[in-house]
Amino acid sequence: MVHKQTTNFRNLAAQLFLGSVALAWVSLAFFRLGVDLASAAFAYLIVIVLFSLADSFVASALLAVMSVAGLVYCFASPIVTVPLNQEDTL
């Protein structure tokens, strides 16, 4: 029983690692190309769907959370901006 749990954890860790590497490559390529948010989100969706075919819901859910964080950090415009060009705000 312990061997099966170890094997499942290794498969989950491998899938999560490879999925995060794939998301990182997509992020890097699309950020360098200056692609908009919708196109990057579609590419992330393709990566998540391809990795979800490996039959691991937990890894797919974690990849989805990582992809949302990556989209917000790299491709979404900031909601709030603070002007720092005035001496009063410093």
pLDDT higher for 21 or 90? 21
Structural domain includes residue 44: yes
> How far does Cα 13 stand from its chain's mean position?
16
Give how far Cα 67 sits from Cα of 8, 51, 58, Å: 23, 13, 14
Contact 36, 21 (CB under 8 A): no
3 state SS of 80: coil
Structural domain includes residue 67: yes
pLDDT higher for 81 or 66? 66
Contact 15, 54 (CB under 8 A): yes
17-65 pLDDT per residue, tens:
999 999 999 999 999 999 999 999 999 999 999 988 887 788 889 999 9
Residue 21 lies in domain: 2-74
Q: For position 3, what pLDDT does the model report?
A: 63
Domain count within the chain: 1
Q: For the whole prediction, is pTM greater than 0.85?
A: no
Structural domain includes residue 86: no
